[in-house]
Structure 1
Amino acid sequence: MNQEVPQHAVVVAKFGGTSVADFDAMNRCADVVLSNPNVRLVVLSASSGVTNLLVALAEGCEIEQRTRHLDEVRRIQYAIVDRLTNPTIIRDEINNMLESIARLSEAAALATSAALTDELVSYGELMSTLLFVEILHERDVTAEWFDVRSVMRTDDHFGRATPDCAALAELTTNLLKPRLQQALVITQGFIGSEAKGRTTTLGRGGSDYTAALLGEALNASQVDIWTDVPGIYTTDPRVVPAAKRIDEIAFAEAAEMATFGAKILHPATLLPAVRSNIPVFVGSSKDPAAGGTMVCSSTANPPLFRALALRRKQTLLVLHSLSMLHARGFLAEVFNILARHNVSVDLITTSEVNVALTIDTTGSTTTSGSHLTSALLTELSALCTVEVEEDMALVALIGNKLSQARGVGKEVFGVLEPFNIRMICYGASSFNLCFLVPGQDAEKVVQTLHQNLFE
């Protein structure tokens, strides 16, 4: 397979962890890729479960647990190797990588570090891409493995590195673009390298981000995100079985959904696509014929209500101080304190003597509220009275021109009378209306709203 494809028609296809979970799943991905001759670059996540195991190893663990984790990684990867017709060469390569993982996990047991974690975790993507290339070779496809770290330059913020888009564009043009005419190129999502050549990772949702960044650097015609769900829905179908697929959605709407907890896309994924006006297709690798959702710059006749998103594990801080009354600088001091403790504020509402703000702990690897250290609370308490409420949930109604429409409050809050709403943010954005509810009410709130607004 050696097709000449016009460079502007290049499609970048990304497959998530569940899409490359095992031998059969990888073959379904191969079917999807080969069905579209314009797909010239494929970006893969690690096989499902592997990244979590590697993260656990990177955190350092006792030898028995370490052995169990290593055995499970080996089992997942060898289950694919053993299904290949001629596995000898690839078995040696995977075995070498497993030995590197074992060596790094021993080092992590002695002393953990963010740099070591990134290096260890990167092996998930390196192994899945090697295996996928071998599957394509067995189908007589001209496919080439490419180390994305040779073009994905980042800073050295290990664990959540920021790509250098200028360097990426130049390196992609010189090193990657010419290869697309000669072969189907398979590369890794999620990982990159900093100036000294050390491996970095792009953080949560990094594989989608990689695909969009490479699409931008290649001036691709489209980026396809293949996952286990056939598109973007009006809300999570696991919470509301009656949720409906959205066939076409604007970048701004999809970004709002992702920002407020919709797992289908990471918010940062869309930034390169928005910059370069590249459509993003979201579909299911398990059922590509089912269609999906096209995310594009704008849509015709966007509805007032588009979707509902739910974000759990929110912490509410209520700050009370009489010195706020007719005074200046109180909010500035609060935010200075939060910044010093690396705490990012999500939503905020104020009254004359109170400030309520939310902190998102979804990405935290520890328990809810872990960002609220005793040092932070002590510093805030010297300024004001502090109340903390944990295990809250943020419900976001995504729509269009919400702040300009009449009757929105009645349609939304009229059906939420049975629930305790702790905080409301409305008017700051015309694309969303957000409110905070106790965690145990979250699903019922979403179900009630969805029935009233979408069914």
Structure 2
Amino acid sequence: MAKTLVYKFGGASVKDSEAVKNLSEIIRNRLRKNFLIVVSAMGKTTNSLESLLAKKLAGEDFSENSAILKQFHVEICQGLFPKGHAVFAQVENLFLQLKNKLEQELNRDNYDEFYDEIVGFGELVSSRIVAEYLCFQELLVVWKDAREVVHTNSDFRFAKVDWEKTAKSCASQWRPVLESFPILTQGFIGSDPKGRPTTLGREGSDFTAAILAASLGAGSATIWKDVPGVLNADPKVFSNTRKFDELGYREAAEMTYFGASVIHPKTIKPLANAGIPLFVKSFLYPDAPGTKIHGEAAPHDVPTIVLKTNQILVSFKVTDFTFIEELHIHRVYEQLQALKLRVNMLQLSAISISIVIDAQLFKLEQLLERLKPEFEIRYNEGLELLTILHPAENGAQAYLEGYEVLLEQASRNTFQAVRRKT
């Protein structure tokens, strides 16, 4: 039996009706049995849903925002389907479900669970529209709910995958379908042991493609982006970028670990463990080769630049004139783990621990509350974390001109600096 091929299309590749038509043309010449398509929410839908939650949490009226989001999806459907097509009733029903969920109580204590219920909605409506359009174009696919097979724990917003249960569900529920029909499903979402919706972390649809590819023993996974492949820097921020024709799993994993946005950081590991190649290709130029990530690629020494925005620098200083010990580090990391906060940079001195983390609603406030009794704490918000892998000699300085540097460190192959515009 032929191995399954997994294609993942991100928000930019389904951002409007023309983008969905382009997706169908990419699929048209490639569709076959044992074919799995994973789609993200359309355009900036996830951001819009997060804004809805923020308004609800603040006790503000969010009905206008909800209406705008609904109209956005209706207009995409109007560009794809004739009047009266069944998809319009499906979209109407999904937004009614969203409205009912948004009427439930939301507070700081249940925010993460509520978030997963609401924000995963973007993938559900997107996948319905895309599946209906492909079938309308006589490209028959079977719509499936990813929550049926992607099993996780109950760490809402950052759920961890139950790999064994997920693989069994994929084998028993989806493989028989794939032997006869292609499947279209959602990225980003899963379900916990009680059947409650979970999400895999922001931009987690890439990770979904890797989870399903590994669980099905796929022949390859392909992520379709608005860039020609994996570049050594974000072309929206930096000029003169270079494309990698191929990358090793380890190099790609290192880039994503430091925040390269082209691939979700958890994507590489399951594919590498299973020896499944990952292709990153452009949906604008689908016949171009893109980048192949696999186990046989030669290492590179091209400087690679990663910039993470909306960063917070937090420094914990001991208050009793003692030096930093393992116990202090353990206490800080214990609370970071409890709050599901990932450290993007760490620096120790004799009397302080400095960490850089992503800004997340409530998280800094909760961290301060828990550790204030033990440390004197200072923090700076609205920062950028610049990482350069394989920096050229003195090559980092050009990226620091016009910035105040609050923290920097260098190792043999990596330079990092926390900066803000002066």
State TM-score, norm by structure 2.
Answer: 0.88
What is the one-letter code of the residue matched to 2:99?
A
Query: Does the Cα contact within 8 Å between 1:190 and 1:203 map onto a contact in 2?
Result: yes
1:360 to 357, 361, 367: 357
1:20 to 3, 6, 14: 14
Aligned equivalents of 1:238, 1:283: Cα separation in 2 = 17
Rg (Cα) greater in structure: 1
Query: Does the Cα contact within 8 Å between 2:404 and 2:421 map onto a contact in 1?
Result: no
1:155-199 deviation per Cα after TM superposition (whole angstroms, max 9, x unaligned): 112211111110111110111111112112100111111112111
1:9-29 deviation per Cα after TM superposition (whole angstroms, max 9, x unaligned): x21000111111122111111
Matched position secondary structure for 1:347: strand
1:76 to 66, 69, 72: 72
Matched position secondary structure for 1:141: coil
Query: Does the Cα contact within 8 Å between 2:316 and 2:375 map onto a contact in 1?
Result: no
Structure 2 unmatched runs, 5+: none
Aligned residue pairs total 413
What is the one-letter code of the residue matched to 1:438?
R
Q: CA deviation at 1:393?
A: 2.8
Q: Are residues 1:138 and 2:136 paired? A: yes
Query: Does the Cα contact within 8 Å between 1:347 and 1:425 map onto a contact in 2?
Result: no
Aligned equivalents of 2:24, 2:273: Cα separation in 1 = 30
Structure with a larger share of its residues in helix: 1
Q: CA deviation at 1:71?
A: 1.0
2:416 to 430, 435, 448: 435
Matched position secondary structure for 1:85: coil
Matched residues, percent identical?
Answer: 26
Aligned equivalents of 1:124, 1:380: Cα separation in 2 = 41
Q: Are residues 1:33 and 2:27 paired? A: yes
What is the one-letter code of the residue matched to 1:32?
I
* 307 and 250 in structure 1: CA distance in 2 versus 1, 3 angstrom threshold: same
Q: CA deviation at 1:215?
A: 0.3
Q: CA deviation at 1:70?
A: 1.6
* 288 and 350 in structure 1: CA distance in 2 versus 1, 3 angstrom threshold: same
Aligned equivalents of 2:397, 2:14: Cα separation in 1 = 45
1:55-74 matches, cutoff 5 A: 55-59=50-54, 60=56, 65-74=61-70
Matched position secondary structure for 2:152: coil
Structure 1 unmatched runs, 5+: 1-5, 400-407, 442-455
* 29 and 422 in structure 1: CA distance in 2 versus 1, 3 angstrom threshold: same
Query: Does the Cα contact within 8 Å between 1:19 and 1:29 map onto a contact in 2?
Result: yes
Q: Are residues 1:44 and 2:39 paired? A: yes
Aligned equivalents of 2:86, 2:378: Cα separation in 1 = 60
Which residue in the other structure is 1:166 paired with? Answer: 164
Q: CA deviation at 1:103?
A: 0.9
Segment of structure 1 superposing worse, 316-325 or 31-40:
316-325
Matched position secondary structure for 1:224: strand
Query: Does the Cα contact within 8 Å between 2:116 and 2:197 map onto a contact in 1?
Result: yes
Query: Does the Cα contact within 8 Å between 1:250 and 1:296 map onto a contact in 2?
Result: yes
Which residue in the other structure is 2:274 paired with? Answer: 276
* 344 and 323 in structure 1: CA distance in 2 versus 1, 3 angstrom threshold: farther
Q: CA deviation at 1:265?
A: 0.9
1:202-281 matches, cutoff 5 A: 202-281=200-279
Aligned equivalents of 1:376, 1:131: Cα separation in 2 = 47
1:377-388 matches, cutoff 5 A: 377-381=372-376, 387-388=378-379
Aligned equivalents of 1:237, 1:249: Cα separation in 2 = 18
Aligned equivalents of 1:436, 1:394: Cα separation in 2 = 6
Which residue in the other structure is 1:100 paired with? Answer: 97
| Pairwise CA RMSD | 2.9
Aligned equivalents of 1:372, 1:230: Cα separation in 2 = 40
Aligned equivalents of 2:111, 2:347: Cα separation in 1 = 38
1:2-21 matches, cutoff 5 A: 6-8=1-3, 10-21=4-15
1:95-143 deviation per Cα after TM superposition (whole angstroms, max 9, x unaligned): 1111111111122468964333222222211111111111111211221
Which residue in the other structure is 1:115 paired with? Answer: 113
Q: CA deviation at 1:152?
A: 0.9
1:137-156 matches, cutoff 5 A: 137-156=135-154
* 208 and 344 in structure 1: CA distance in 2 versus 1, 3 angstrom threshold: closer
